[in-house]
A = this chain, B = another copy of it.
Amino acid sequence: MADSASGDGVDPPVVVVVDAQTPGNVGTIARSMKNFGFSDLRLIDPPELDPEGEAYGYAGQAREDILPNASETTLEAVTDQYHTVGFTAVTNEDGSSHVRFPFTTPQELADSLPISAVPTALVFGREPTGLHNEELLMLDEVAAIPANPDYPVLNLGQAATIVLYELQELVLGDTQLPERDESYANPEEVERFHDHAETFLEEIEYPPEKRAKTGRLIRRLFGRVHPTGQELVTLRGVMRRAASDRRFETE
């Protein structure tokens, strides 16, 4: 298996693409893999991947590693080595059939796949009809992406992008997004803000009979919005400024 791209030493699932017709979709899948922390791409009956062509054009930075390192394989070799999950758009079956039912959703896979213990392969294919029943029967688990009942057909690159997005939490410890938690105002800061707002209404000589109701409105508004500490500090500065102007005017 390829070197792990994740921080905690777990090998991310390998990504297997069966019988892609268009090189562009292989490039899109490689780009999504890179974006969400996957690294090992295996191709079954791939199209020609010209370094000057669409696959490399769509791959973003994955053109430098994932795409040139992709290897060719067979479905038999993959099922021998991995717990295999096949993805399909169509599963109009019920409990009396066992090819595409019961299915797992990508979100459920994120909670259930034991990838740290069991080498896992995510199997996508084929254009335009998806994996065949004979192929799905060789795989351990079937997953289906929820979609519009009137039009449940993503292309191969879109389907893989969604699945890899959902599974990124399995392979990436942290994402590129900064931490928000410590930015949110704590309850004490929020209370100080409301106390300040109440004082402010007095200072600006807001009609006394309306103050309680307006105070409640402000409390509800800020209760919904989850303000940051910085937002409250800034708004308190605004109130101080407004009240001091007011005091100056009325003196």
Interface residues of A (CB under 8 A from B): 5, 24, 28, 31-32, 34-37, 58, 60-61, 89-96, 98, 101-103, 105, 144-155, 157-158, 161-162, 165, 168, 172, 174-178, 180, 183-184, 226, 228-231
Contact = CB atoms under 8 A, between A and B. Distances in A.
A32 B145 CA distance: 12
Given A61-B153, A103-B180, A161-B161, A147 B36 contact: yes
Nearest to A183: B95
A177 B60 contact: no
Nearest to A128: B60
A176 B148 contact: yes
B148 A168 contact: yes
B146 A94 contact: no
A155 to B, nearest CB: 7
B229 A35 contact: no
Given A95-B183, A158-B161, A162-B162, A152 B229 contact: no
User: How many copies of the polypeptide does the oligomer hold?
Assistant: 2
Contacts of A168: 146-148
A176 B101 contact: no
Contact of A177 (B91, B96, B165, B231): B91
A154 B32 contact: yes
10 contacts: A36-B148, A90-B176, A92-B178, A93-B178, A96-B230, A101-B228, A146-B168, A148-B168, A157-B158, A162-B162
A151 B168 CA distance: 13
B149 A95 contact: no
B60 A155 contact: yes
Nearest to A34: B151
Contact of A95 (B37, B60, B174, B231): B231
B94 A155 contact: no
Contacts of A5: 148, 150
Contact of A154 (B35, B105, B172, B178): B35
